[in-house]
Amino acid sequence: MGTLHLTRRGFLVAAGSAACLAVLRPRIARAMAVPLNDFKTTMTTMFWVGERADAENAYIPNHQSYWDKDWLANFGGVDDPWRRNGHWPAEFAPRENPFYVALPYGEFAEQNQLKAEASDIPWYRPGLDPLLKNRWVEIRYNGRSCYAQWQDVGPCGEDDFGFVFGDADVPLNTFDAEAGLDLSPAVWHHLGMTDNALTEWRFVDESEVPEGPWTEIVTRSGNNR
C-alpha cells in the first residue's frame, strides 16, 4: 500500500488547537456561487474511525463524530489504516460504509439548533433529518474517482460554510497542510494516495453514484448527538 503519512490533525500540535480555533473567524460567502456539480480542489489528509487521541492528532479522539456520539461502536471497530482486508478493516466487517469523508462545516449551533445559514444549503428543506450526514461526495485524484459519504466534520473547524457551500476556493484552515478535506483509509487507498495531496471533490446526488465498493454498505443512520 505504500508509506502512509499520518495527517488527520497532527499539524495542530505545533501551533496548538486554541490557535487553530482562532483562525476560524466568521466569513460571509455567497451561498452556492459555485454550482454543486463543479469540483473544488483542496489539500487532502487522512483520518479514521477510532483514531487514538495522541500527539499525532492534537489529542482529539475519533471514537465520536460530529453527528454520532457512538461512532466507533456503530461502525463496528477501529478502521485501522494499515490492517486491511481489501477496502474493509481486517479485523471485522464494518456495519457502516468504510468510504467516508469529513468536510469543515456542521449545521448545528448550541442546543442542537440549526445555524442561521443552514437554510442556504442547496438541498435544505424544513424537517429534513439528517441534513448533511450521509451525503455523497465524489473525490478525484491522479485520474481516479471515488465516492464516499459525509460522516464527520473537519479538519480543523466546523464553520467553513463558504468553502463547503459557497464561492471560497480555499478553506479557512491555515495551518500546515491547510487541508479542506479528510478521507477514510478506504478512500485513501482506492485513490492510490500515500501522502497529503491535492484532490478534487464535489457533492453528488445518491442517484448519480455508480455501483462500486462504496455501495457494498451504505450508511443510513441519522443524527445521534
C-alpha cell at 138: 465524489
C-alpha cell at 135: 451525503
8 Å CB contact between 163 and 179: no
C-alpha cell at 116: 442561521
- Measured between alpha carbons, how far is residue 114 from residues 13, 43, 50 in Å? 31, 28, 27
Domain ranges of the chain: 12-215
The CA dihedral of 58, 47, 49, 194, to the nearest 10 degrees, is -130
Q: Please, where are the H alpha helices in 118-167?
A: 161-164
Protein fold of 12-215:
Barwin-like endoglucanases (2.40.40)
pTM: 0.85
Comparing 59-63, 127-131, 136-140, 187-191, which segment has the lowest mean pLDDT?
59-63
For the segment 31-51, what is each residue's pLDDT rounded down to a tens digit? 444 566 799 999 999 999 999
Q: Mean pLDDT, to the nearest integer, of 109-133?
A: 96
Check residues 30 and 94 and name the one with the higher pLDDT.
94
8 Å CB contact between 102 and 154: yes
- Predicted confidence band of residue 53 (pLDDT cuts 50, 70, 90): low
Of the chain, the percentage scoring pLDDT greater than 90 comes to 74
Q: How many CA atoms are closer than 13 Å to the CA of 169, on its beta-carbon side?
A: 0
C-alpha cell at 106: 456542521
Q: Mean pLDDT, to the nearest integer, of 118-133?
A: 97
Q: Which residues touch 22 (CB under 8 Å, ≥6 apart)?
A: none
